[in-house]
Each structure stands twice: as structure tokens, then as C-alpha cells.
Structure 1
Amino acid sequence: MRFELRDGVLHTDGAPGLLATADYPYYRDDPTVWRERLRTLRDATGIRIVSSYIPWRHHQPDPDAPPDFTGATRPDRDVVGYLRICAELGLSVIAKPGPFIHAETNYGGLPDWISPLRNPLVEPQLDAQGEPVRWIGSVPGPDGEIERWPLPAPLGAHFAARTADWLRAVNKEVLASTTAPDGPVTLVQIANEGLFTDGSLPLWAYDYSAPGLDFYRSGLRRTYGTLDGYNALHGTDHADWAQIEPPRERHTSGPLDVRSQLRYADWGRHQSDSLAEAYHSWTEALAPEVPVLVNLNPPAGEPDSLDSWLSRVRPERWNGIAYGFTNWMGVVSTSHDAHVRYVVAAKRTPGPNLEENWGFSELYDRAYAAGVTSFHQSLLALAAGATGFNVYTGVATSGWGDDLDAKHRPPYPDCPPVDADGNATGKAGTVLMLADFFAAHGAEFLAARPVTGASWGLYAPYAAIAAWTGDASAAGSAPDSADALPGCGRPLREFHERTRAEGQDYRIVDLESATAASLADHPHLVLHGGAFLDAQVQRLLAGHIGAGHRVELLGPVPRLDEALNPCTVLAEALAGQPAAAPTAGPVRVLSGSADAYWRAVTPTTGYLTLLVQSDNEGPVNVEIGTGAGGRALQVAVDSCRGGAAVLRIVDGVLDDFLLSGANSFLGSSVTPSVGVDGGEVRGHFGQDLARIGGETRTLLP
């Protein structure tokens, strides 16, 4: 079989499908149970693709010895044998060799000997204050807690060389014999949630090490060409590139001239460039024969975090490395803030959800003891734009030692679909319904077009500036002043709230990589302005208006280009733009506390996803406008609090569906029911209800 990722969608021999996966950390289990655990995972959940990290520290604990991938030094290191079992069971695999994996392992899966504490050749990563950036190591301190060790600078020469050695060894000793079409490995993931689970950190969190700053200054040379060119734009008189210092302190009050704003935009561009550089160099060393993807954590919850994330995460610059994301930030049915950030991660660019918490309640939140919590989150991600879902992790494990994880005790995790004794739990049935539904309808679901209103136009330099100037930006300069501050994250959140309240969905489009042809798919664009905007982007947006589309600019109107030369082409186009007539959204929640998304195949055929919030009481009633003066569809769903549903509606008639009826964590149970235009299907009290392939199922979760 031939596997490709096209626009974030997995194609198998040219046929698109939704990517349904479950993680199994083989390295935490006794090898004698690998086969049985995998078989149970397959049969009980319907999942056919397993994702597995390959921990560097586990396979190469000695820097002077080659990695062990065959179990020569210890049976649980036989990853080649593990992959052979996967193939024999008909399971495909996403191999994830790091180098950093997190996964609750000591030092994030890095070997102790690559730490700057153990190897003076390894330079530490530094934050804006010059302090080492730290992660949990592997040795308890005097207080009994695991010490936090400095992380390596990712672009440091020695770390980069040893990382490349590791990845080349994985390719030669593992992937060469196990990669599709002759082996089970169909995809490869590098890194973890950024580089060191740091994709959501603020822009001043890293990397101010010497190699990091060398890369920053080389980026300035690429951007500005000459030192004279840099000085002219920034109002400086540096005699050498080495004299240029990055920003280290936030600007919290007062005006900020546009030349000073450029410094923040420079650092934001550097952050995205350094992430791309590590991705490219690690992929080049690994050299896999199958598609490569990454998993980014969603934005964090601090006020500056969305701007930092939007500035750093630039998939358009990854040149063939595909985007994916994770979710470890809260229960979205309870926390609206987490809900919004999760939606943004799913909408940033097409890609699969590669880690959804299905197994950890004691470590993260007790709400995850109930499978409906993860069911809700998986459906939200898919409705918002994800191209796949993941079960992390599918199996509880109990066979690791302190050399791998000295902090956590078995089982890991505590409440997954397959427990530590190898028995399927109620969650397995929930996953099976998901897997079966999207095996039947995933291709159509992905092809169905989200019915959206306006799209958010992302200009990443504004996000970088706003991350550093958020408080000052919120206070606001005069919109037409020369030092007017741009916005991005805060107005994007406000745009999200406005569009969702109007029953509209939306998309996010990167303006720096867009073309006139791609923008034509976004007839109404909304963006925040600033004092400057690339001339190319200004011309693109002006042409968009000239083609009869709409551009809605919030905040200051840019009158300078990226070189701070006068450029008013967008301002002139905006001045001549007619006022827009208000439009109603296609989906309205008439009663109940819920979020609704409609993906249309035709005006009366498509998929309604309903996310019921934890504070909901009673049935949720939704109206779907079919457009062109057609009759609106009336949908009624009764689900538990924190529940969810996805309905396939064909020519206005209810077809297959999934619906949750109980949330044990919240003590909420109902007799689940779903109806479209009066026709109703009812289940049994406290049980989930589904219809797949015309067959009705019930499940006691």
C-alpha cells in the first residue's frame, strides 16, 4: 500500500480516510504481553493504526554503545520484534523516535548522558534572563522529588550531532526493515509538542543560548541583507551583527514606535524559523520513506500565549512536514477557555489530533475517568477541522523500571480502554463506536464542507508583536497613530466568540503564504491591523476587495510596508469598499448549552456535531438553515451533561449517528434521544446510543 498525507488527510493507495489511532507504549510493558495487548486493543476498539514512541533513553542508555533495537541487552528493547507483532496482527504503526518524547518518561525520553549536567559539550537552552530551561530529570533530589535538569540547546553542535546519530540509527536498524509497503510503519512523527513540549510557551521562554542567538542573527542577515539595511529600518547603529540583541523584556505600557515593533516581529520570525530548522534537520537525519508529521500542543491559557503560539507555529514553512496537534489543557466541556484554544489548534491548518487523553484521570483531571469526556473532545476536534483522532493511551501498562520513569507508579495510564490486566473496559466500546462510524463515513465527513462565514486572516508578525506588547495593546494607542500597536490573539478570540454566537463557523488563513486563488475560497476576511503590513499582503488584500470580496479590518489601518515605506494600497481599497449586509449563520442552538457545527455535502445532507456543555440541563434544540430559501431542519438531542453527538443527515432525514447518554463523573444520565424534523430515535436510560450502517447499538459506558 502507498500512504500519503495531502492537506493533512491520510490517503491510502489514493483513497482518503480519517486517521484513527491509539497509542501503545510498548516500552512500559513486559514483552510477553505485547501480542495479547495489541490484539485486545485491535478487537475491542476497532483501531487499526497504533502509535508508539521509541524512547532514546530506553534504547541507548550508554553513549559509548550502539542503540539496542532487538532486545540483545534487555527484552523490552526489542522494538523490531514489537513492530513484527504489529504487522502479524494487521496493525499499521506511527513510529515516533523523538528525540524528545515527554510521555511521562525521565528527562522527556532523552538519555541522561545528553544532559548539560552530564556532558560539558552539550550547551543548555536558555531563557530571556539567561537561566537554563529545565525539565524533570531522572534523579530524586534531597526532598525526594525528581530534580529538574537543564535541557540541551536544540541547535547546539554536539546535541545536534548526537541527535542525528540516534535518528540515523533508528532509520537503519528499525525503519529500513519495517516501513510500508512491506512493513507496518506507515507514518513517522518527529519531536513532541514543539521540540521539548514547548510549542505553547511564551516567546521569551527560549532559546537565548549562543547557538540559538547565532541562528537568530543569521536569520536577520537573510531578512535584511546588509547591516546597513538592518540599521536603517531599526534606527540603530550596530557595527557588527553580533551586537544585535534580541528582546528580553515585555513592553507593558506607553507608546512603542514602529521601528521598535520590528524587533519583536524579528524574534517571532526567528522562533518559527528555529522550529522549522530543527524539524528539517531531524527529518533529514531520519530520512524515512513514509510521510512525516509533528504534534503541536494547543496554545496555553495565559493572555500572551495565543499570540506566542500563532507566531511560532507556521506549518506553511515546514516544506512537506505535516501538521498535527494534541490536547492536554483541560476539560473542554467544562472550561470555555480550553474549548476555544482547542478549536484554534484544530483550525490552524488541516491535520490530525495525535494525542487525546483517554486514559489519565489521576494524573490530569478526574473527569477523564468517564469516556464521554474524551468522546466529547474527539468530536469537537473533528468538527473544528481535525483530520483524525487518537486514543492516548489505549492500553494500561505496568512493566517499566525507574531508569525509564522514576516518578509514576503503575498502572500507566489508570483508566484506558484496555486495563492493566488486558481486559477491555467500557471506554473500549465508546472508541469502537467512534472507529466504526468514521470507518463508514470518514471520507465523506472530511469531504463535507464546513459551512463557514468570515475567515480570520493571520499575519504572524502582528502575533509576535502582540505577544510582547499585549497589555499595552489592550490599552490601545490611537488607531491612526504612527505607533499604533497591532493585535492578533485577543481579537481572534473576540472574533471566535462573535462568529459562534451568530451561528457561524470560521477558518484561519495565513496571509503571508496565501495567493489570490487560495483567498478566493475566503470571500469574507477579518483581520486586525497595525502600523505596517507587507506590501505583497496589502496588494493581495486590495485585489481581494477588487474581485468583489470583503476585507474587514479591525484596529489601525496599515499605511507602511515591511520596509516602513509609505504603502496605502490597502487603505485605499478599504475606503472604497461597500458596507456589508449582515448574514445569519447556518446553525442556531435554540435551547440548551451546547456548541454546534454543520458540515454540508448538499444543503440538506451533511454532518451535525453537537457538543453539550457540562452545565446543560434538558434537551438541546438546533436549527440548521438549508439555504436558498429552503425549509430549515429542526434537530432535537437529549444527551448527558458534557456529552456529545454526531449525526449524519441525508436529504433532511436522520441516518447514522453517535450519541452519549451518561457521564459518570458528573453523575448525569438520561434516556438518550435524537430527532430530525420530528422523527425520533430513543435509547435506554444511562446508555450510549448509536446507529452505524443502519444498525442500532446501545452501550453501557
Structure 2
Amino acid sequence: MIIEVRDGVAVVDGVPRVLVTADYPYYRDDPAVWADRLRSVRDELGIEVVTCYLPWRHHQPDPGTAPDFTGATHPARNVIGFLALCHELGLRVIAKPGPFIHAEVSYGGLPDWVCPDADPSIEPLLDASGSPSRWMDGSVGRALPAPLGAAFLTRATQWLSAVGKEVLAAEGPVIALQIANEGIYTSGALPLTAYDYSPSGVSFFRDRLRAWYGGLEAYNRVHGTSYGDWAGVEPPTGTAGLLAKADWGRFHAEYLAEVYRVWAQAVGSDLPVMVNLNPPTVPELDDWLARVRPELWGDICYGFTNWMGVVSQDRDSQARYVIAAKRAPGPNLEENWGFSQLYHPAYIDAATSFHQSLLALAAGATGFNIYTGVATSGWAPELDAAQVGPYPDCAPIDANGTATGKAPVVRALADFFARHGTEFLECAGVTDDAFGLYLPYAGIAALSGPEGPQCGRPLRAFHERMRARGLDYAVLDLENTTLEELAAYRTVTVPGGPFMHRRVQQLLAGYTEAGGRVLVDGPAPTVDETMAPCALLTPSAPPPDSAESPILYGDADVFLRSHPGRDVHYLTVLVQTGNEGPIGVRTPYGTVEVVAAEGGAAVLRLAGGELGDLVVKGINAYLSCAVEASVRLNGVRVGASGPGDLIRIGGTRA
């Protein structure tokens, strides 16, 4: 199997595939059961690709010894043996060597000996107050190392290089890598003031300023300052000028890109590299938008995680989820399929995870992950002293290796997208409207609060307007978008403010000249990025509200994808918690009526005017909801024989 990642899509042996994976934390389980659990993932769940972290603290607990990948010091460290089992069983692997992994592992998987508290030679990550950023293990907070600090960077590079040379060098089942975790230290959604004010971070900030402005004279002219040396330029405070705040947001984006680049390069592998960003929080939406700029990452592929709440019942969680899925093409690399005690009791039932996995795909993700596919027990206390087994508490395969009630639901999703995933990816979302991100405003808003230009607030308002009308939309980065890409949309909504890059204003002016409508949320800019006069952007009048909502009745989100060359469509219906009765949806073939459980969902293939394969969730035990799942199109009904799920794949009902 040869895998590439093209525009966020996994291409396997030349064929685009929806990337369906399941995580198995081998390091938390008895090696004697590894083979049995892997067979269950393959045979019960229908999964072909396993993901697994490689915890640094697990494989190299002592600084004076080399990493153990063969089990010489403990059987659970034999990751080479684990990968050999995967290969023998026909499973492929996405390896995740960190160096920071979170995964409920002590100190996020970092060994204790890289903590600045233990080794003063290691530079700590600092926040805006000059205090070390700390990773909380229960009530104990330990300082985190500055990623670009020389001492830690040397040690992290040695770890990643050892993984590359000793674990990945031989031909085997590993088809891709994931580096870091949810930013750097599960920090992708933190405020811009949370890091990095360490000497190495500030040095990188000044290096970026030199690169952007060319010389100090140009910097002073644009900013209205009179610095005599770059060393005098400090990270901005809340009272700094707008451009200085925008610079700090841009620094965060390039800082994240640099850490990703250095860590990926250290592995020394030609395998595709992915990352898994945590979605934005509601208060820090602008901070996240400023920092997360996949356009800067080169060949490193965007991916994201869940861990934000139950989207079928929480409006904020749903918005965060959709924005993360739409920010860039890439897979959902961690969907909660097993944690009801650690996160929310709704995850005790498969309906919650089923809903969210389908939402990710409908909103733009190119794959999803079962985290975790297997419950584990028996890990060493130095790996994790906080969790009580099993981990997690309600996985599709339990800690005894037995398939639970979630397993058939995972299998249905895996089988559906194994059969139709290529065609699903060929289809495009039915979207007439887009939101154009202008990310300098995100950096400003992150440091200024509600005063001044915004990016996140207009985006959230746009999302809510579209959701209220039942309409899908696109998200574009205006600094990295072409006129051809803009031309695909009837309207583009952009945040307003005092300045905007000249090239962006020219782009939007060309779009309006070609018949598009630019809707500005706020004042139109009057100057460019150098503060030179530039007022090319003329806001358009909103178009007549003629787009019909596809939702005829019921409380649900719906997404329609249509094939550009064939009469094929995919309809995803995401039922909200509290809905009672059927959901009616307008489609190219007439009204489709779906009966599904509260908080459940359905995915349908429509072709040639008829219902094709489908998966509909009719049971949500958490909400004590059991309905006879069904779908009706033009009088033709396909339904379960009693309260329960409805699965039809390959024309055959499960």
C-alpha cells in the first residue's frame, strides 16, 4: 500500500479514500493481548488503519539510556513487535511520536528529565507575565519546555530521529506520521498571551519581523516607531498599535509552522506528515484563527480532533466543530468513541459519536478516527497514575476484547465509506456562500478584545445565519485565495476594519467586477497593510434571500454533496437532541423523510432518483430514545423491522 496526501485527502495506491482509522494505545495494554485486540479492530470494526502514539516517557524514561523500542527493559515497550503484528494482520499504521502526545499520559508523554523544573539548562515556555506555562497532572503543574530552546530542541530532535531510524526505517506497516498534539502542547486553542515569551520565542519573533519588513527603517515607518535596534522591539501589549498586534498573531502562525517543520524534519522520514489541531474555544476563536494557518505548513497535512462537547445539544460545540472541519481539508484524527466518564455521559451510546463523525465528513473532513477503538488496562503507574482502568470506559472493543454495542455502528460506517468513500470525496458540498478570513484582524482581536476590528465574531455570526437557514458554506483565507476560487460563490462575507492588504482588496474588487457580491461585516478599509491610502473595496448590497432552506420540518442540520459529473448525491442528516418526529429534507429528487433517534444521524446515497445505500441511527440509549429508523423518498419507504438502526450497504440490509 502506497499512501500520499493530496490537498488533505489520503490517496491509497492512486485512489482517493476516506481515511477511516481507529486508535489502539498498545502501551496501556498487556503485550500478550495485542494480537487479539488488533484482530478485533480488523474483523469486528472493519478498520484497516490503526493509529497509535509512541510515548517518549514510556520508551526512554531515563536520559542516560537509549530509547527502548524492542521491549528489552519492559515488554510493553516493544513497539517494533507491535508494528510487526500489525503488518502480519494486514493492518496499516499511522505512528504518532509526539514528542508531546497528551493522551492522558503523565506530563503529556514527555519524560520527566526534560522538565525545566528538573533541569535548569532547559528553557521554560513563558506566558505574557513571564511565568512558566505548566502542564497540569492532577493538582501538580510542571513547567513545559520552550520548543525552540536549544537544550530541549536537541533532546526532542534526538528522540524523533531515533524513532525515524529504529522504528520507521525498515519496510513495514507505517504509512503516515502525526507529529505534536493539538498545537504543540495541546495548546492550539490557547490565548496568544499564553506563549511564547521565552528568549528563544522572542528571538524567533524578531527574526520574523526582519523577514517581513526587510529593515528596521521600514518597520518604524509603518508602525510609527523609532527603534534603533531590533532588540528593542518587544511582544505587544494590549495598548500597542493595531499592526503590532497583527504581527504577534502572524508570529504565532509562523511559530507553529516552524515547530512543525523542525519536528517533522527531525524524524527524517519520507512518509506523509499530519497534525491534529484542537478546535477553537468560543472566547479564543480569534486566537485560534490567528495561529492556525495550514497554508504555511508546506507538505504537512491539517487534521483536527473533537474533545469539545456534545454537538447535537450544544450550539457552541457545533459551531466550533464545523469551523474546525472547514478551516482546511484534512481528517478528523480523534473522535471520542469511548470516553463517557472523562468527558460526557452522552458518549455511553454510539449515537453521539456517530453523529459527530458524520458531521465532520459533511462539513469538509476527509476522514475520521475511532478514539479509542479498544479499551485497555494494566499500564505502569509512571505512565499514567491518574486514570483508573479501563481506558477508555466504553470503547467499541472492551478491555476483555469483546465487541460492544458500538462495534456494529463503527463497522457500518467503515463499510459504507470503504464502498463509497472515493465517490463521496468526488462530490462537492452545495455551497453558494463563503466567509473570507482576514487573519490580521484575528491577531488584533485576540489582544484587543471586543474593541477594534474582529475576525472570529463575524465568522461566528455568519455561521449562525447560515445554520438558521439550513445552508452550508465555505471558509476561505483571503490572503491565500485566488479569483477562480472566489468565483465559485454567490457571496463572500468579509470582516470590516480600517486596513486590508492591497492584494486582498484588489482580489475582492475583481470578484465584484465579475458579478460576485462582497458583504462587509463592519467598515470598509481605507488603507492597505503599509497604511498607504487604498479604498478598493466597495461593499455590495445583500442579494435577495431566495435560497430555500433544505429543511422542511424537524430539528436537524443537513448537508448535501453532489457529484460534478454524475447524477449522484450524498445527504447527511444530523438530528438534534430534543427533536421528535421525522426530518423532512428537500433534495434534487423531492422530499426525503428521515426517522432517526434524538442526537442520532443518517447518511444516504441518492442516485438516479432513488435511494441507495444508507446508515440511519435509530437508537440512543443515553436519551432513552428508540425509533424504527426509516427513510422515505417519493412514497418509497425503507425501514427497520422494529425499533433499531437501519443499515443497507451494497444493496443488502445488515
Q: TM-score range with shorter-chain normalisation?
A: over 0.9
1:147 matches 2:140: yes
1:163 matches 2:156: yes
Please give the alpha-carbon distance, in whole angstroms, between the structure 2 residues aligned to 1:173 and 1:512. Answer: 41
Match of 1:549 among 516, 523, 527: 516
Match in the other structure for 1:220? 209
Please give the alpha-carbon distance, in whole angstroms, between the structure 1 residues aligned to 2:542 and 2:188. Answer: 39
* Post-superposition CA distance 1:92-149 (Å, at most 9, x none): 0000000000000000000000000111111111111111111135xxxxxxx55110
Match in the other structure for 2:250? 269
1:282 matches 2:263: yes
Q: How far off is 1:579 after superposition?
A: 6.3
Please give the alpha-carbon distance, in whole angstroms, between the structure 2 residues aligned to 1:334 and 1:518. Answer: 34
Identity of matched residues, %: 56
Please give the alpha-carbon distance, in whole angstroms, between the structure 2 residues aligned to 1:346 and 1:583. Answer: 27
Please give the alpha-carbon distance, in whole angstroms, between the structure 2 residues aligned to 1:319 and 1:377. Answer: 29
Q: How far off is 1:169 after superposition?
A: 0.4
1:693 matches 2:646: no
1:49 matches 2:49: yes
Please give the alpha-carbon distance, in whole angstroms, between the structure 1 residues aligned to 2:491 and 2:90. Answer: 46
Match in the other structure for 2:476? 509
1:372 matches 2:351: yes
Q: How far off is 1:223 after superposition?
A: 1.2
Q: How far off is 1:296 after superposition?
A: 0.3
CA contact (8 A) 2:37 2:401 kept: yes
Match in the other structure for 1:297? 278
Please give the alpha-carbon distance, in whole angstroms, between the structure 1 residues aligned to 2:191 and 2:237. Answer: 11
**Residues 518-667 of structure 1 aligned to structure 2 (within 5 Å):** 518-571=485-538, 574=539, 580-585=543-548, 587-601=549-563, 605-624=568-587, 626=588, 633-667=590-624
1:93 matches 2:74: no
Please give the alpha-carbon distance, in whole angstroms, between the structure 1 residues aligned to 2:461 and 2:527. Answer: 26
Match of 1:422 among 388, 401, 413: 401
**Residues 363-442 of structure 1 aligned to structure 2 (within 5 Å):** 363-442=342-421
Q: How far off is 1:521 after superposition?
A: 3.0
Q: How has the CA–CA distance of structure 1 residues 578 and 359 changed in structure 2, closer, same or farther, with 3 Å as cutoff?
A: closer
Question: What TM-score, normalized to structure 2?
Answer: 0.98
**Residues 243-254 of structure 1 aligned to structure 2 (within 5 Å):** 243-249=232-238
Q: Which amino acid aligns with 1:24?
A: Y
1:362 matches 2:341: yes
Match of 2:638 among 664, 681, 691: 681
**Residues 309-320 of structure 1 aligned to structure 2 (within 5 Å):** 309-320=288-299
Please give the alpha-carbon distance, in whole angstroms, between the structure 1 residues aligned to 2:227 and 2:58. Answer: 48
Q: How far off is 1:502 after superposition?
A: 2.5
* Post-superposition CA distance 1:596-649 (Å, at most 9, x none): 11001269630110000111111111112x3xxxxx610111111101001111
**Secondary structure at the residue paired with 1:97?**
strand
Q: How far off is 1:455 after superposition?
A: 0.7
* Post-superposition CA distance 1:515-571 (Å, at most 9, x none): 223333334211112111111111111112222222222211111111000012224
Please give the alpha-carbon distance, in whole angstroms, between the structure 2 residues aligned to 1:16 and 1:604. Answer: 20
1:197 matches 2:154: no
**Secondary structure at the residue paired with 1:512?**
helix
Q: Which amino acid aligns with 1:634?
A: T
Match in the other structure for 2:18? 18
Please give the alpha-carbon distance, in whole angstroms, between the structure 2 residues aligned to 1:3 and 1:662. Answer: 36
**Residues 133-144 of structure 1 aligned to structure 2 (within 5 Å):** 133-137=133-137
**Secondary structure at the residue paired with 2:44?**
helix
Please give the alpha-carbon distance, in whole angstroms, between the structure 1 residues aligned to 2:223 and 2:11. Answer: 47
Please give the alpha-carbon distance, in whole angstroms, between the structure 1 residues aligned to 2:254 and 2:630. Answer: 50
Match of 1:495 among 450, 462, 469: 462
* Post-superposition CA distance 1:279-308 (Å, at most 9, x none): 000111112121101000001132xx1111
**Secondary structure at the residue paired with 1:62?**
coil
Q: Which amino acid aligns with 2:88?
A: E
Please give the alpha-carbon distance, in whole angstroms, between the structure 2 residues aligned to 1:605 and 1:189. Answer: 34
CA contact (8 A) 1:347 1:385 kept: yes
* Post-superposition CA distance 1:363-395 (Å, at most 9, x none): 111110001110000000000000001000000
Q: How has the CA–CA distance of structure 1 residues 522 and 590 changed in structure 2, closer, same or farther, with 3 Å as cutoff?
A: closer
Match in the other structure for 2:314? 335
* Post-superposition CA distance 1:298-329 (Å, at most 9, x none): 01132xx1111111000000011000000001
Q: How has the CA–CA distance of structure 1 residues 120 and 593 changed in structure 2, closer, same or farther, with 3 Å as cutoff?
A: same
**Secondary structure at the residue paired with 1:281?**
helix
**Residues 206-217 of structure 1 aligned to structure 2 (within 5 Å):** 206-217=195-206
**Residues 443-454 of structure 1 aligned to structure 2 (within 5 Å):** 443-454=422-433
CA contact (8 A) 2:237 2:447 kept: no
Unaligned runs of 5+ in 1: 138-144, 252-258, 473-484, 627-631
Please give the alpha-carbon distance, in whole angstroms, between the structure 2 residues aligned to 1:521 and 1:13. Answer: 30
* Post-superposition CA distance 1:474-517 (Å, at most 9, x none): xxxxxxxxxxx322111111111112222321111111112223
Q: How far off is 1:35 after superposition?
A: 0.4
Match in the other structure for 1:105? 105
Question: What TM-score, normalized to structure 1?
Answer: 0.91
Q: Which amino acid aligns with 1:247?
A: P
Match in the other structure for 1:36? 36
Please give the alpha-carbon distance, in whole angstroms, between the structure 2 residues aligned to 1:364 and 1:52. Answer: 21
Please give the alpha-carbon distance, in whole angstroms, between the structure 1 residues aligned to 2:347 and 2:395. Answer: 9
**Secondary structure at the residue paired with 1:193?**
coil
Please give the alpha-carbon distance, in whole angstroms, between the structure 2 residues aligned to 1:341 and 1:459. Answer: 18
When the two chains are superposed, the root-mean-square deviation of aligned CA atoms in Å is 1.4
Q: Which amino acid aligns with 1:157?
A: A
CA contact (8 A) 1:559 1:568 kept: yes
Match of 1:486 among 429, 453, 457: 453
CA contact (8 A) 1:486 1:556 kept: no
CA contact (8 A) 1:300 1:306 kept: yes
CA contact (8 A) 1:596 1:609 kept: yes
CA contact (8 A) 2:331 2:367 kept: yes
Q: How has the CA–CA distance of structure 1 residues 579 and 597 changed in structure 2, closer, same or farther, with 3 Å as cutoff?
A: closer
Please give the alpha-carbon distance, in whole angstroms, between the structure 2 residues aligned to 1:345 and 1:40. Answer: 31
CA contact (8 A) 2:306 2:336 kept: yes
> Runs of 4 or more off by more than 3 Å in structure 1?
577-583
Please give the alpha-carbon distance, in whole angstroms, between the structure 2 residues aligned to 1:146 and 1:500. Answer: 40
Please give the alpha-carbon distance, in whole angstroms, between the structure 2 residues aligned to 1:401 and 1:183. Answer: 28
**Secondary structure at the residue paired with 2:507?**
helix
Q: Which amino acid aligns with 1:228?
A: E
CA contact (8 A) 1:503 1:584 kept: no
Please give the alpha-carbon distance, in whole angstroms, between the structure 2 residues aligned to 1:106 and 1:647. Answer: 42
Aligned residues: 653
Please give the alpha-carbon distance, in whole angstroms, between the structure 1 residues aligned to 2:608 and 2:521. Answer: 39
Q: Which amino acid aligns with 2:476?
A: V
* Post-superposition CA distance 1:575-604 (Å, at most 9, x none): xx676343314x521211111110012696
Q: Which amino acid aligns with 1:515?
A: T
CA contact (8 A) 1:187 1:290 kept: yes
Match in the other structure for 1:142? none
**Secondary structure at the residue paired with 2:550?**
strand
**Secondary structure at the residue paired with 1:426?**
coil
Q: How has the CA–CA distance of structure 1 residues 579 and 163 changed in structure 2, closer, same or farther, with 3 Å as cutoff?
A: closer
**Secondary structure at the residue paired with 1:530?**
coil
